[in-house]
Amino acid sequence: MMKFSFAATTFLGVVAVIGTVHADEPPACLTSTADLSVDIFTDKVEPLFSQGWNVTYHNTYKIANNLFDNTTYLLYQCGSTPPADVVDNGNFNAVLEIPLSNVGLSQTPHIGFMEQLELVDEIAAFLTDTDFISSPCFLDEIAAGNVLTLVEPSEGVDAPATGNTALSAGTVAFVASFTQVPFDNTVNIQEYSELTNVAVFEWVKFFSVFFNKEHTANQVVEAAESRFDCVAQNAGAVQADNMPVKPVVLWAYYSDFCGGWDVAECPNYYCEFANACGAEIISSTEGNTTVCGAPYMTTEELVELGKDADHWIYPSSNWDTASETFGEQLQNMKAVQDQQVFDYQASGENAWFEQRYAEYYNVLADFCAVVGTTQPLTGRSWFRNVFTEPVGSLPDCSPTQSANILDDVHICFLPTTGGAAAGGGSGSGGSSAKAIAVGTAALAAGLLSLIHVLLF
C-alpha cells in the first residue's frame, strides 16, 4: 500500500464506501405458481441525465425505449409470457426473454458497460475488428476461444473468424444504430449521441435492464458521478485560490481523412472537462475546409486561433505525422513552444475509445492535472505529453482484477499547505494540491487502517 504523507489534512468530503451489492432481483425464472399481479422488479432505473432512453416497468415485463432512433423493446421475465395485446399493439423492434445471456457486442464502448455490470462472461461474440479492443481481460477471453469474433460485415463475410462459442438463433446483439450484423435480434445503443460524460455513462443503466442488473447499475452510476463531482470541487477550489486567470486549452487534431483541423465545438464532453477544471476551452465552428461536409480549419487558421493557448489537448494518435508535416507553422503556438501538447495515448492507442466512457472521472482528473488544478496521486493515465512521455499501455489482466468500481474507497482531501498541481510534467509531479485519491481496500475493517495511513 502506498503511504501518503501530509502535515495536516482537511477532509472536504465524506469517505464513500461502496460495498458488495445484494443480488439483483428477480433472482430466477418465474414458476407456474408465481403471482403475476405483483411487481417482481424490486430494483428499477431511470435516466437522470441521459436524453436518449427510458424504461417502464409492468409487473413481469419491461419496455425499454431508445428515444434517439425510436426503437423499442419488450422484455419479459423468463418463466412468464408477455401479454398478447401488448405484443400485438406495441410495434416492438424485438420481444426478448430476460435476463439475456450469450450476447453479442459491436462496439468497444459496450465492453466497458458490460464490465461495470460484471457481465463479461455473458459476451459470446464481438462483431467488429478485435484490433481496437483495449480491455486486457476481454482480450484474454478472446484468446482463450471463449468469445466468437466475426469479420466486419462491410467486407461481405458473415462467417465466424475465431472462437468456439456456438450462437443460437435467439442471440441478441447490442449494436450502434448504424451497424448491420447477421443477427435476428439487435438492440440499438446510442451513447455517442449524448453531450455530457455522465449522460453517456448512464447508458449502463439501459444495458442493465436486459439482465436485471438495475441495482448494480444504479450503484456504479452514483459512484462515478460522485467521483466526477469530487474532482471538479477540488479543481474549482484550487483554481479560485491559486489561479486568478483561467488556463486556456486548445482541443484540436489534424484529420488525415478530411484534410483539415478539427477543433472543439461546445457543448460537448470536453467542454464539460474544461468547465469542471476551471479552464477556458477554445471553441469554434469556423473553417474553410469542408471535405467531410463540416468546417475544418487550415493550418493557418488553427495557428491564429490557438497560438496563445496554454495547453493543447490533441485527441488523436497522429501527432508525430502532423508535427512533421506542419511543424514549422505549429512552432508559432505557445503550447508547442512550452511543450504542453498532450494526446490520449497514456494508456495505449485504443483505451480512449473504450475505458474512457466508464472512467470519465479519471479523464477529468487528468484534464485538471494538465491545466494545473489537480494532481492525480497515481499519475496521469489518459493524457500523454507528446514531447516527454512514451505511448503507454494497460497492465495485463490479473486474476483479482475487476473493471467495475463497486469495491473502491474514494476520498476527497485538501492539504492545508501547497499550491496548484504542475501540469507540464508527469502526473505524479508538482506540489501538493487538492486531489482525488482512489484506492482499493478491504473495506470496513480496512477503511480505518487506510485513514490512519493517510493521516499519519
Kindly report, residue by residue over 120-141, the tens digit of the pLDDT.
999 999 988 899 999 998 999 9
Nearest to 117 by CA among 214, 20, 245: 214
> What per-residue confidence (pLDDT) applies to 242?
67
CA distance 262 to 314: 10
CA distance 10 to 374: 16
- Domains belonging to the chain, first-starting first, are 40-212 (no CATH), 221-455 (3.40.50.1980)
> What per-residue confidence (pLDDT) applies to 378?
61
> What per-residue confidence (pLDDT) applies to 364?
93
> What per-residue confidence (pLDDT) applies to 20?
40
> What per-residue confidence (pLDDT) applies to 407?
52
Q: What is the average pLDDT value for the chain, to the nearest integer?
A: 80
Band (38; pLDDT cuts 50, 70, 90) = confident
- What's the rounded mean pLDDT across residues 195-224? 95
- What's the rounded mean pLDDT across residues 231-260? 85
CA distance 126 to 304: 44
> What per-residue confidence (pLDDT) applies to 454?
34
- C-alpha cell, 10: 482537511
Answer whether residue 447 shows pLDDT above 90.
Answer: no
> What per-residue confidence (pLDDT) applies to 152?
45
Q: What is the largest CA-CA distance in the chain?
A: 77
Band (233; pLDDT cuts 50, 70, 90) = confident
Question: Which of these ranges, 13-22, 193-202, 392-401, has the smallest mean pLDDT?
Answer: 13-22
Kindly report, residue by residue over 284-318, the tens digit of the pLDDT.
999 988 778 889 999 999 999 999 999 999 999 99
- Tell me the helix, strand and coil percentages in the chain, rounded to 5: 30, 20, 50
> What per-residue confidence (pLDDT) applies to 7?
25
Nearest to 232 by CA among 282, 199, 274, 196: 274
Band (153; pLDDT cuts 50, 70, 90) = very low
Kindly report, residue by residue over 417-444, the tens digit of the pLDDT.
344 333 343 333 332 332 333 333 323 3
